[in-house]
Amino acid sequence: MIIHVAPNGTVALNEPGDFKNFKIVVAKSGADAAFIAGALKDVAAVEPDAKTAWVSQAALKRWQGEDQPADWIASFDKMVESVRRFGWVRDSDASVRAHIEIAG
């Protein structure tokens, strides 16, 4: 699953059924933390170094106002539990860590 940020700041969920490849790809060369944080404001909290973000589980489960199917949610929850042991789940705000790649 790839959260894709276009050069104009629009956000899309690509490959939503790939639960082994969870990341954020920013398609804007030289994108800084402010641009990335602005684009992801409703989806994730970006770390100051703009290399990782904490993605809201609720935002993914209800992507852009549309509920994901129950089987998708079950697979997503399984993915989240599988990365918990690595410290990639933050229970305080129900978020999961994602690596940010700049691909411009």
> What tens digit of pLDDT does each residue of 29-46 get?
889 999 999 999 999 999
pLDDT of residue 94: 96
Q: Are 53 and 103 in contact (CB under 8 A)?
A: no
Below-70 pLDDT ranges, the chain: 104
pLDDT of residue 104: 66
Question: What whole-number distance in Å separates Cα of residue 46 and Cα of residue 20?
Answer: 21
pLDDT of residue 51: 95
Token pair recorded at residue 11: 């956000």
The conformational region for residue 11 under phi > 0 = left, psi -120 to 50 = alpha, else beta, is beta
pLDDT of residue 103: 87
